[in-house]
Amino acid sequence: MNANKQKKEKKPAGKMHPLKSIISLAEARKILDENSKPVERVEEVALLDLCGRVLAQEVKAPIDVPPFSRAAMDGYAVIASDTFGAGQLKPKTLKLIGTVHAGGSANVAVKKGTCIQIATGAPMPEGADSVIMVEETEVDGTNIKIYRAVHPGENVGKRGEDINAGAIVLKSGEVLNPAKVGVLAALGLEKVKVYSKPKVAVIPSGNEIIEQGEALIAGKIYDVNSFTLSALVAQNGCLPSKKKAAPDSLGAVKEVLKKAAQENDLVIISGGSSVGEKDVMVGAIESVGKLLFHGIAVKPGKPTLCGIVGGKMVIGMPGYPTSCLTNGYGLLAPLLRKMAHLPIQEPIKIRAKMARRTTSTIGRFQFLPVKIEKGKAVPVFKESGAITSMSLADGYIEIPENVDLVEKNEEVEVILF
């Protein structure tokens, strides 16, 4: 083979696309905040599905709770003045004229010198103003001996004592927990208006990505990021929609992004945001939308990007699982919660001593996964492609941009997952 032929058949080297500039973590968070807003769609949801949802209406009580005065104890409904002077050595005696159970009602009224046996929660009979506990009484044929005096209203839950009809019991924007769902149930409401969960497309990219269940052949890897990101999306009040992997093609990625932006409130795509010759994400966003930033001074996760396509934000996450999930916690979670009308969660933090000396990179903010062993923070980061760097971790420490070394036994703050 001659030299000319060799030269003719030689293919040119692929062009790399280095990051032209990177921004600080604080700048990235500011851009995400400025370009996002809470979803304003509203839907009616039944009580059984309300926990964790955000109320989109003011709730006024249509009834009193309880809707009638009721016994707070098992015992006897009495007129309090009939018990005055009663004691262990000198009981008062009242005539038993009936019984009322929970869910029923008395068919006779309590008059002076009489009483009615009553169960907890049963409506108070007409004429009675208090309940003497069964423990303070003794049955004597058709009479009841009372061994302690009660005052008017004792052991009685008054109508409207918990909630008055017309009162505002819940406000728009409140996150519904089990107790608040209980309030709605007590009012007899079947469903209420809540903010719809933001729809989030979760898209892997890369020719190397295959689905679980497919045969693993040379050069292929199973999709990890779609599952970790979808779990993070759901955990923070949004509705993930996992898509098939987008191939390493500018045209294909453009179409995937446009379609996802039309159908969702936010698009998250992992992979394709680095500097390799096949990383087409930047070009795709620039051709169909606007690039807001590409590159953050963090470790791991430097090639993270953000853009706008079809009026929707697109977040390009690194392809390596640890980089992807780390930035998911640091960048995505607050954004998701804002879109879902959820309050930003204050992280749980503990103090621990570093188990060994750890180096960092000056100029880059580092999220370092650690596990807690015997009160010490043990770094578990292997490399950006190792998902166990996160699964083994109890949390992470933050190493500022101006720090390049954390000494062994130095006290650090661990942010728990």
CATH number for the domain spanning 355: value is 2.40.340.10
Q: Is residue 271 part of a domain?
A: yes
| Model confidence pLDDT, tens digit, residues 298-332 | 988 899 999 999 999 999 999 888 889 989 999 99
Whether residues 217 and 99 share a domain: the answer is no
Q: Is residue 318 part of a domain?
A: yes
Whether residues 403 and 382 share a domain: the answer is yes
Whether residues 312 and 233 share a domain: the answer is yes
Whether residues 133 and 272 share a domain: the answer is no
CATH number for the domain spanning 209: value is 3.40.980.10
Whether residues 115 and 182 share a domain: the answer is no
Q: Is residue 344 part of a domain?
A: no
Q: Is residue 11 part of a domain?
A: no
Contact 295, 22 (CB under 8 A): yes
Q: 215 Cβ partners below 8 Å, 6+ apart? A: none
Cα–Cα dist 222/225, whole Å: 9
Determine the pLDDT at residue 342: 97
Per the structure, how many domains does the chain have?
4
Whether residues 204 and 286 share a domain: the answer is yes
Phi, psi of 7 (to 5 degrees): -65, -40
Whether residues 244 and 316 share a domain: the answer is yes
Contact 319, 302 (CB under 8 A): no
Q: Flag whether the pTM goes above 0.75.
A: yes
Q: Is residue 309 part of a domain?
A: yes
Cα–Cα dist 412/367, whole Å: 13
Q: Is residue 8 part of a domain?
A: no
Cα–Cα dist 58/96, whole Å: 47
Q: Helix/strand/coil (H, E, C) string of the chain?
A: CCHHHHHHHCCCCCCCCCCCCCECHHHHHHHHHHCCCCCCCEEEEEHHHCCCCEECCCEECCCCECCCCEECCCEEEECHHHHCCCCCCCCEEEEEEEEECCCCCCCCCCCCCEEEEECCCCECCCCCCEEEEHHHEEEECCEEEECCCCCCCCCEECCCCCECCCCEEECCCCECCHHHHHHHHHCCCCEEEEECCCEEEEEEECCCEECCCCCCCCCCEECCHHHHHHHHHHHCCCEEEECCCECCCHHHHHHHHHHHHHHCCEEEEECCCCCCCCCCHHHHHHHHEEEEEECECEECCCCCEEEEECCEEEEEECCCHHHHHHHHHHHHHHHHHHHCCCCCCCCCEEEEEECCCEECCCCCEEEEEEEEECCEEEECCCCCCCCHHHHCCCEEEEECCCCCEECCCCEEEEEEC
Whether residues 315 and 355 share a domain: the answer is no
Residue finishing a domain among 128, 157, 186: 157
Whether residues 152 and 191 share a domain: the answer is no
CATH number for the domain spanning 171: value is 3.90.105.10
Residue finishing a domain among 280, 305, 339: 339
> In terms of residue numbers, what domain contains 103?
70-157
Cα–Cα dist 18/15, whole Å: 10
Cα–Cα dist 262/370, whole Å: 39
Q: 217 Cβ partners below 8 Å, 6+ apart? A: none
Cα–Cα dist 270/317, whole Å: 4
Handedness of CA 375, 378, 380, 381 (dihedral sign): positive
Determine the pLDDT at residue 272: 67
Whether residues 288 and 146 share a domain: the answer is no
Whether residues 212 and 315 share a domain: the answer is yes
Whether residues 315 and 221 share a domain: the answer is yes
Residues of the chain with pLDDT under 50: 1-14, 16, 277-278
Q: Is residue 10 part of a domain?
A: no
CATH number for the domain spanning 82: value is 2.170.190.11
Q: Is residue 7 part of a domain?
A: no
